[in-house]
Amino acid sequence: MAKHPELLAKYPNVEVLPSNGQVRCLFASIRNSETSRRKFVFDSDRLITMLVEAALAKLPYKERTVKTPMGLEYVGAEFCSKLVGVPIVRAGESMEKALSNIIQEVRIGKILIQRDEETALPVLIYEKMPRDIANRHVLLLDPMLATGGSAMAAVKVLLDHGVKEDHIIFVNLISCPEGIDAFCGAFPQIRVVTGEIDDCLDERKYICPGIGDFGDRYFGTDI
């Protein structure tokens, strides 16, 4: 049974990656403080690929008929709209490779948001988007959903560029009830695809049991 059933019932726009032996092994690996950086990156990439595939399955499709080498028709599907991936720099860039590996010519935007140390509020530092982003579906990429502050600030940037709220899918590796409450309360039409929902935030606003600083561990800046 999925954790936090009440939370998932409250927010039907949130989908958790189905748990199985493989998924639990990968999460145990990346959560382990003794896991080497090389294995951390490898196992994180595997989980991120699963999450991106799950998110892509939520995009609108239309029917497409092709002819096979046998000269027969096959009825399949294709995307109805164009797609752009928007990682929240820096940790979100870890998810960019998985998306580009699945959709080779996908457009990529960038958003850099940092927390003001005095106010603890998110501050937009940099953003760059495709000119036609308003006509695209967007995968917003950030591995951690803690307080939700950075993600909500990033969504506001997308909305300012004309992106429709229901054209955004937020993809993250680990989330928590506080972050989901804040994010989905602010943007109920955005679909969220997450790997696991943890227990809570601690007094420092870190997800528990958590994973530590994902960006530092992934990019090797924790040593």
96 within 8 A of 87, measured Cβ to Cβ: yes
**What are the b/e assignments for 44-53, b being 16+ CB within 10 Å?**
bbbbbbbbbe
Q: Please name the residue that has the structure tokens 């699963």.
A: 50
193 pairs with which residues across the strands? Answer: 15, 171
State the Rg of the chain over Cα.
18
> Which residues form the catalytic set?
115, 119, 213, 216
Amino acid at 95: M
- From the number of C-beta atoms within 10 Å of its C-beta (0-12, 13-18, 19+), residue 192 rates as buried
106 within 8 A of 169, measured Cβ to Cβ: no
Alpha-carbon torsion 37, 42, 47, 52, what sign? positive
Distances (CA, A) of 219 to 95, 160, 213, 214: 12, 31, 10, 8
163 within 8 A of 82, measured Cβ to Cβ: no
Which two three-digit tokens encode residue 57? 């399955």
**Closest to 133 (Cα-Cα) out of 104, 110, 100, 101:** 110
